[in-house]
Chain A
Amino acid sequence: MRFRGGVAFPRELKPFADRPITGLPEPAEVLVPLYGGPGKPCRRLVERGERVEEGAVIGEGDAELAAVHATVTGTVTRLETCRLPAGDEWPAVRIRRGESAAHGQEGTSRAPAATLPDLACQMGILGLGGAAFPLHRKLRLPAGAQVDDVILNGAECEPCLSGDYRLLLERTAEILAGGLRILAHFRAKRLWVGIEQDRERAIAAVRRATGGGRRARVFALPARYPQGAEKQLVRTVLGREIPRGVYPWQTGVSVHNVGTALAVSRAMAGQPLLARVVTVAGEAVREPGNYLVKIGASLAWVLEQVGLKERPEKLLVGGPMMGFAQADANVPVTKGTTGILALTAGEWPQPTPCVRCSACVEACPAGLLPLYLEGYTLKGLFAQAAAHHPGDCIECGACSYVCPAHRPLVQSIRWAKRESGRRSPVA
């Protein structure tokens, strides 16, 4: 069943999909944020000057947070505060690459985790679709909860990105192994792999690997943005509407990015999550494509490796619809960095008055009325805006994309979200 609203992008916005994933060399220096999940930072386990091995745990938290690992072997040169791509400040550890101290086998001998959530937590697995939510928290369900369907999300979260597609083509078996491990953990009945219709080769590859599909089956999704959003994906695959305030597991389904399934598969082989696939694209990039990048490498370093044709005018982390504009290229690649877009000078159209064409209403996959949310918010009428449920907005940007008047719809709704939490009666 198709989800409501959304935007169909032309196929030209899904380029670079025919190039294999390229591994970038080890960066000379990484800045690893102590990020193990939303809320608070991980506790730092290393001191300045300390030597660390690749894969050593440098930060851990309580049950809520996943572990953070050193992504290169070297020396901790600085403990600092960095900006994450979304703009928050976060403590981080700077490691300069160096010779391995103990030149033998890896010295990290941890007790192997007994359960999948413990393993995910130990190996630092966060959801790789972009939200970077700790996997082990999605895997731990309250007693009595039952998940019947596990969906592997192979629908690219945004246009211009093609990392999920390449992973499905190149790491098919490992992704399915990881998916089946998640399936086994939930004792679920069905494993779905959702892939957009126009990614025919990935669909064929996964079909081949599942051998006709006993427990795993491919679901060809309509190529429509935001198909990769959790609720929209569940609706398309299972025809199930997830109401406001209800978690997917409460309706018996659990959704994971294909990259996350791959990370699970690697973790089963004892490898922590140290790198991720990042789509590097944009007019300013000389060799756009998908690259395997160490967590903590700076955007500037990645762009230098990939090569720039010219100085980018705008740098986005994420995709063109939801990506965060960066003021500083020294921001590190995090586990949530799905793409880096280096854009050249373009038109920045000025907003004109809303003509009430309701294109935004048609486009909204969450069933909201963006024009009213925006109008009330910009007038400072936050109570009225709150009555239009800004909290349901998934910030996909479809409304802003289709708006003929170039209204700042998404930003207004984000503002409305913040305000609905902090209003008090006027004295």
Chain B
Amino acid sequence: MEEMLTATGGLFVLGLLLGAGLELVNRRFPVRKEGKVDRFRALLPGVNCGACGTAGCDALAAVLARGEAGPRACPVGGEELAGKLAVMLGIAPAGEAAAPLLPVVRCRGGRVASPARGIYRGIGDCRAAVGTGGGGTACVHGCLRLGTCWEACPTGALRGGGDGLPVLQAAACTGCGICARVCPRNLIAMHPADKTVQVRCLSPATGAGVRAVCSAGCTGCRRCEKVCPVGAVGMTGFLAAIDDARCRLCGACVEVCPTGAVVRAFGCAAERERAGLSLTNQGGEA
């Protein structure tokens, strides 16, 4: 009995002593964790699903802390997390949720509006066709219509439309920007979703030059510039440009554009919250 008590008591005392020692060392020589990584880690869901492409939330937090990933790196967290991460990354001001970015395809020259000028038999990828005089399409600034962007889209938000142009289903878009990076003509820009009035043409050609190849391009007629009540539309040569900071989204320019190069887009972006984020909601022809 006595031996048992001695042994138990001895171990207890020993445990206390070692514990105190550990605590002492920990206080004296603390391991400094990287605060930034921890702060990112705290925001992430912590399910370690790996959907972001890294090994787990810890790994993604480290990537975020190095500044090598964007606010939408975590596909699980959604817009709420993206807003918080954007603040932490210094992209958006604190307290204000960042408007999600959606791709804008700045070309409306589909098969009907801008008929092909030749038969292209090369590699079926825009990045290959751009080096061969632009494949079969007529406009040297417009969409090559070979689908590199929608094939690169990881969520299927961008799909091929009947006229050969990509069509955006905004509700499925995570704003990753891969489509914008693969487009060899830089036709896709990541654009704040709440700025729904846009110029969908990038051709700097003169009016006659645009009309010769496309019926949906910006001809530089300046009607949009004249009608804009807040002076948000300016011209860069023969191409209209909308200053998003000034635009009130009244749509007057959309009404007067003779070719339909200025459009109201992301139709669903403004309404998709009301519509309940339905995948079938295809308001915007992007």
- Write the residues of chain A forming the contact surface with B, with a CB cutoff of 8 angstroms: 80-81, 83, 86-89, 324-328, 348, 378, 408, 411-412, 414-415, 417-419, 424-425, 427
**CA A88 to CA B68, docked complex, whole Å:** 36
Which residues from B are CB-within-8-Å of A425? 68
Contact of B130 among A81, A86, A89, A418 (CB under 8 A): A418
Residue pair B133, A324 in contact (C-beta under 8 Å):
yes
B70 touching A427 by the CB < 8 A rule?
Answer: yes
B41 in contact (CB, < 8 A): no
**A415 contacts across to B, CB distance below 8 A:** 123, 125, 127-128, 131
A348, A378, A414: the one within 8 Å of B131 (CB): A414
Q: Which of B91-99, B114-122, B245-253, B266-274 contacts its partner?
A: B114-122
* Pair A87/B132 contact, Cβ less than 8 Å: yes
Interfacial residues of chain B within 32-78, with CB under 8 A of chain A in the complex: 68-70, 73
Q: B136 within 8 Å of A by Cβ?
A: yes
Q: Determine if B133 and A87 form an interchain contact, defined as CB atoms under 8 angstroms apart.
A: yes
Tally chain B residues at the interface, Cβ within 8 Å.
25
Q: Can you give 29 contacting A-B residue pairs, CB < 8 Å? A: A80-B209, A81-B205, A81-B206, A83-B140, A86-B133, A87-B132, A87-B134, A88-B133, A89-B140, A325-B118, A326-B118, A327-B136, A328-B118, A411-B123, A411-B131, A411-B132, A412-B123, A412-B128, A414-B132, A415-B125, A415-B127, A415-B131, A417-B131, A418-B130, A418-B131, A418-B184, A424-B181, A427-B69, A427-B177
Given contacts A327-B117, A408-B128, 14 further A-B contacts (CB under 8 A): A81-B205, A324-B132, A325-B133, A327-B136, A328-B117, A348-B121, A408-B122, A411-B122, A411-B123, A411-B128, A414-B131, A415-B123, A415-B125, A427-B177
Q: B-side interface residues toward A, CB under 8 Å?
A: 68-70, 73, 117-118, 121-123, 125, 127-128, 130-134, 136, 140, 177, 181, 184, 205-206, 209
Closest to B69 in A: A427
Q: What is the chain B residue whose CB lies nearest that of A315?
A: B118
The residue in chain A whose Cβ has the minimal distance to the Cβ of B68 is A427
A408 closest partner in B (C-beta): B123
Q: Quote the shortest CB–CB distance from B249 to chain A (angstroms).
A: 30
**CB of A343, distance to nearest CB on chain B (Å):** 13
B125 lies within 8 A of A87 (CB):
no
A378 engages B68 (CB within 8 Å):
no
A236 to B236, CA, bound (A): 52
- Shortest Cβ distance from residue A323 to the other chain B in the assembled complex, whole angstroms: 12
Residues in A whose Cβ lies below 8 Å from that of B209: 80-81
Residues A327 and B118 in contact, CB atoms below 8 Å apart: yes
The 10 A-B residue pairs with the shortest CB-CB distance in the complex, in nearest-first order: A87-B133, A327-B118, A327-B117, A415-B128, A414-B131, A89-B140, A408-B123, A411-B122, A427-B70, A411-B123
B contacts with A: majority SS: loop
Nearest-neighbor residue (CB-CB) of A87 within chain B: B133
Which of A81, A83, A87, A415 has the most C-beta atoms of chain B within 10 angstroms of its own C-beta?
A: A415
CA distance A305 to B140 in the complex (A): 30
The residues of A that contact B127 with a CB separation of less than 8 Å are 415, 418-419
* Closest beta carbon of chain B to A316's beta carbon, Å: 12
Nearest chain A CB to B62 CB, angstrom units = 14
Q: How far is the CA of A427 from the CA of B73 in the complex (A)?
A: 8
Which residues of the partner chain A approach B118 to less than 8 Å between Cβ atoms? 325-328
B53 smallest CB distance to A (angstroms): 8
Q: How far is the CA of A83 from the CA of B209 in the complex (A)?
A: 11
Q: Is A378's CB under 8 angstroms from B123's CB?
A: yes
Q: Please give, as numbers and ranges, the residues of chain A lying within 8 Å of B184 by CB-CB distance.
A: 418
Q: Which of B122, B123, B205 has the most CB of A within 10 A?
A: B123
Cα distance, A95 to B118, chains bound together (Å): 27
Distance, CA A61 to CA B73, complexed state (A): 49
A89–B205 CA distance with the chains assembled, in angstroms: 10
**Bound form: Cα–Cα A408–B128 in Å:** 10
B122: A residues at CB distance < 8 A = 408, 411
The CA of A326 and the CA of B134, in the complex, are separated in Å by 11
* Closest chain B CB from A372 CB (angstroms): 16
CA distance A419 to B184 in the complex (A): 9
Complex Cα–Cα for A324 and B140 (A): 16
Complex Cα distance, B73 from A78, in Å, reads 53
Give CA–CA (A324, B118) in the complex, Å. Answer: 13
CB-defined contacts of A326 to chain B, threshold 8 Å? 118
Closest beta carbon of chain A to B134's beta carbon, Å: 6
Q: How far is the CA of A117 from the CA of B122 in the complex (A)?
A: 40
Rounded to whole Å, the gap between the CB of A399 and the closest CB of chain B is 15
A327 — which chain B residues lie within 8 A by C-beta? Answer: 117-118, 133, 136
Instruction: Give the CA-CA distance A417 to B125 in the complex, in Å.
Output: 15
Q: Which residues of A contact B125 (CB under 8 A)?
A: 415
Residue of A nearest to B208 (CB): A80
- Chain B proximity of A88: nearest CB distance (Å): 8
- Shortest Cβ distance from A287 into chain B, in angstroms? 26
Contact in complex: B140, A87 (CB < 8 Å): yes
Which residues of the partner chain B approach A411 to less than 8 Å between Cβ atoms?
Answer: 122-123, 128, 131-132
Complex contacts, B128 vs chain A, CB 8 Å = 408, 411-412, 414-415
Bound complex: CA of A372 vs CA of B181, how far in Å? Answer: 24
Closest to A407 in B: B123
